[in-house]
Amino acid sequence: MANLINYAHKYHRNLIETFIENSYIAPFMVSDVDWLDAKTFHFTQMSVSGYQDHAVGGGWNRGNVIQTDHPYTLEHDRNVEFLMDKREVDESNQTGTIQNVSNQFMITRATPEMDAYFFSKVASEAAALPGRNSANALASYTVDNVVPRLKTVIASVRRYRNKGIVIYLAPEIFDLLSMAEDFQRNIEVTVLVDGGRGIETRISSMDGVQLIEVVETDRFYTGFDFTNGFEPATGSFKINMLAATPVSTKFVPKIESIYFFAPGTHTEGDGYLYQNRAFWDTFVLPNGKDGEIDSIFVDRDTVAV
């Protein structure tokens, strides 16, 4: 008997929808990239020189066009399997079906880990760049200083203000922002995906930049231990604010393989065998002007885990 289902080598549409409906980082997902080999894709950066003074005696000033290829290699390769005994399936009124198990795993385990990895990867990139990071004790934020500090983050990425910049905020900071007198914007409780499905959270805007509250704070740290699922790594910090834009920050999935074997089609026991493998990563690309990374910023807490 063949597998009941096999989504191999690429993300199936249903899996993409499940991810989008339960993730904070759906706008950053890129599922169609130009692969160089099994786990590497490339981004070609182009830069050109500017005008030079024109001479009335004739002639043209020759400029330069420089194209640089940047390969990016995926590293986050994960898998898990579950065996559901025939009795468990029969006695649970068939809740242990491929669709139920897959959806439950994607919603409660896979998608939260994708968010956590994305946030920590972008935060780590920003922490390594001069002028792209700051550290403020979360307890030091007040109603009076939350807006000035937020404006500092916005100023660091202002050139991308009209290019989809998103700033993710810890709930405590969003609470203070909602009470700040000099914050004159509407705050809405909404879902991040149209149609009434998705994460329900508070969103707002300031100076043309979208602000999103990260309610699930277990995903919002500078580093994670991925030994078994994910949990904040020792020495990591809570993230206060994180800025990024889909123009230059990409969540790139390569593989989402799901296999489901009926009893008698495998040798692992008398039950239904579910297997899931995910292979993806997050990358921050340089700008096309001077090759610098200038589209991200992180402000973190000062108390380590």
CB-based contact 279:110 (threshold 8 Å): no
Which pLDDT band, with edges at 50, 70 and 90, does 214 fall under?
Answer: very high
CA distance 73 to 19: 22
What are φ and ψ of residue 124, in 5° steps?
-65, -40
pLDDT band at 67 (very low <50, low <70, confident <90, very high): confident
> Chain-centre distance of CA 235, in angstroms?
21
DSSP letters of 112-160? HHHHHHHHHHHHHHHHTSTTSEEE--GGG--TTTHHHHHHHHHHHTGGG
Kindly tell me the burial class for residue 179, based on how many C-beta atoms sit within 10 Å of its own C-beta (0-12, 13-18, 19 or more). Answer: exposed
Rounded Cα distance between 115 and 166, Å, is 14
Which CATH class, in words, describes the domain spanning 5-34+78-304?
alpha beta
| Encoded tokens for 250 | 């990409």
Give mean pLDDT, residues 25-44: 74
Question: For residue range 221-268, what is the model confidence (pLDDT) as tens digits?
Answer: 999 999 999 999 999 999 999 999 999 999 988 877 778 888 888 888
Compare 160 and 32 and report the one with higher pLDDT: 160
- pLDDT above 50 for 98: yes
